[in-house]
Amino acid sequence: MSPTPVTMTSPVRPASYSWEATSEQVAARYGIPVERIVRFDLNTSPEAPELAGRVLAAGRFESSLSEYPPSDYHRLVDAAARRYGVAREEILVGAGADEVLDLLGKAFLPAGGAAVVPSPTYAMYRVLTEQRAASVLSVARRGAADGFALDVPAVREAARHASLVWLCSPNNPTGLPDPPGAIENLLAGITEDAAADGRPAPVVALDEAYADFTETTLLPLRSRFPRLVIVRTASKAYGLAGLRVGFAIADRRTIDEIATYRPPGSVSTVSVTVVATAFETDGWLEGRVAAIHAERERLAAGLRDAGWEPGPSVTNFLLVPLGSPERAAAIAEALLRQGLVPRTFGAGHPLSDHLRITVRSVEEDDRLIAAAREIGAGIGTEIRA
């Protein structure tokens, strides 16, 4: 195994996912009315689509709320198959992408096994690996100058020792997709290595939670790579995080393997109906995505005017380098005092000198820009002094 960029963590009793404070907790701590709290830390959309309210008010669901959800989520699977351009049998529904990721751990990561986690990335991959009593093979991503791209040779080498590889593109929290061809090359290399080593290829989980913000997806690769599982969600561009709906999309034999672990109906009938309706309704998503892109560029420009240097992003969030962990922490605290909640990265995290900022509404973003103007430079000087 290439020793330099890979850090192996042996199985440990897993740490709990560290929950974000609720808005009520932030409000109480900073003495701010809860209505003034704005979540710049969760990469959610500023509002749910109108059609959600209409479906709820109509009150017509696939089945009575006193019955379990339809075990095959028939209408939702049909709608998702059309939306993603895949066959029904290539889709599995979960309670948000998070449950889908959990099912992938259950299906493909035995106790004592190992999973590759290119870092920094979404924190749940490590948490879920540890929950399976498996080892994390952490492979550093390249730096900001290289768009935090995957270190393909290092990931490929680490994958020789793993049964599962967690990828995320566009990557959270760095905001960019991997370079064209990188993941395809990685998949080809992993497949080749497994054949050469005479063992089954590891499953590659590719989290495309933010792909709806781009025009690209690696979904077409699933036919060439049957061990590729692509994860999608209704929580980001679709603006329905509160409903908890996510999907695994893969070759049907791989979906069948995951389905062994699918619980009988974890997704509410209400969620099934609203998300199916959203997927069946054409034309509204494109407008939302365009608005978020425009607002992201406006927010980035405003923050640059305030002296910050947000990195490039194709998603609904910005990663902002702030020079030092101390300055990032001080700015986060100053924002929190105004009810603006940024995403921080703990001490020891490779991005501990960054904040991650979700693109929200014009009004909310204007509050952030104003706050950045007020506090940014002053605090930086103070901290550096």
- C-alpha to C-alpha distances, 237 to 93, 96, 216, 252, 380, nearest whole angstrom: 18, 13, 14, 26, 34
Q: Which stretch binds its own copies (CB under 8 A): 18-26, 84-92, 137-145, 150-158?
A: 18-26
Q: Token pair for residue 238? A: 């679709």
Identity of the residue, 80 or 274, whose beta carbon is nearer to its own copies in the bound complex = 274
Q: Give how many residues touch its own copies by CB under 8 A.
A: 67
Among 270, 285, 370, 383, binds its own copies (CB under 8 A): 270
Q: What one-letter code names the amino acid at 272?
A: V
Distance separating alpha carbons of residues 373 and 363, to the nearest angstrom:
15
Query: If residue 92 lies in a helix (H) or strand (E), which one and from where to where?
Result: strand 91-94
Query: Are the C-beta atoms of residues 81 and 232 closer than 8 Å to each other?
Result: no
Q: Which stretch binds its own copies (CB under 8 A): 141-149, 160-168, 212-220, 234-242?
A: 234-242
Distance separating alpha carbons of residues 293 and 359, to the nearest angstrom:
9
Minimum Å gap between C-beta 4 and its own copies is: 32
Minimum Å gap between C-beta 178 and its own copies is: 25
Among 6, 26, 44, 289, binds its own copies (CB under 8 A): 44
Going by their DSSP bridges, the two strands 91-94 and 343-344 should be labelled as: unpaired
Name the one residue in this structure whose structure tokens are 């999907």: 247
Name the one residue in this structure whose structure tokens are 């974890």: 266
Minimum Å gap between C-beta 46 and its own copies is: 7
Q: Strand, helix or coil at 284?
A: helix
Q: Which stretch binds its own copies (CB under 8 A): 139-147, 218-226, 268-276, 335-343?
A: 268-276
Among 8, 29, 74, 87, binds its own copies (CB under 8 A): 74
Q: Is 29 in the site for its own copies (CB under 8 A)?
A: no
Q: Token pair for residue 176? A: 């960019």
In the region spanning residues 236 to 265, those forming contacts with its own copies, defined by CB under 8 A, are 239-244, 259-265
In the region spanning residues 88 to 117, those forming contacts with its own copies, defined by CB under 8 A, are 95-96, 98-99, 102, 106, 110-112
Among 8, 24, 200, 216, binds its own copies (CB under 8 A): 24
Distance separating alpha carbons of residues 131 and 129, to the nearest angstrom:
5
Contacts of 358 (CB under 8 A, 6+ apart): 39, 40, 41, 42, 43, 44, 316, 317, 343
Minimum Å gap between C-beta 24 and its own copies is: 7
In the region spanning residues 127 to 186, those forming contacts with its own copies, defined by CB under 8 A, are 131, 133
Q: Token pair for residue 218? A: 């690696």
Among 3, 33, 57, 348, binds its own copies (CB under 8 A): 57
Q: Is 45 in the site for its own copies (CB under 8 A)?
A: yes
- Listing DSSP states for 205-225 in one string gives EEE-TTGGGSS---GGGGGT-
Identity of the residue, 241 or 379, whose beta carbon is nearer to its own copies in the bound complex = 241
Q: Which stretch binds its own copies (CB under 8 A): 36-44, 200-208, 295-303, 342-350?
A: 36-44
Q: Is 59 in the site for its own copies (CB under 8 A)?
A: yes
Burial degree of 24 (CB within 10 A; 0-12, 13-18, 19+): exposed
Identity of the residue, 11 or 323, whose beta carbon is nearer to its own copies in the bound complex = 11
Q: Is 4 in the site for its own copies (CB under 8 A)?
A: no
Minimum Å gap between C-beta 256 and its own copies is: 9
R_g of the chain, CA atoms, integer Å:
21
Q: Is 64 in the site for its own copies (CB under 8 A)?
A: yes
Q: Is 72 in the site for its own copies (CB under 8 A)?
A: yes
Distance separating alpha carbons of residues 46 and 41, to the nearest angstrom:
12
Distance separating alpha carbons of residues 306 and 86, to the nearest angstrom:
45
Site residues (vs its own copies, CB under 8 A): 13-17, 19-20, 22-24, 39, 42, 44-48, 52-53, 56-57, 59, 61, 63-72, 74, 95-96, 98-99, 102, 106, 110-112, 124, 131, 133, 235, 239-244, 259-271, 274
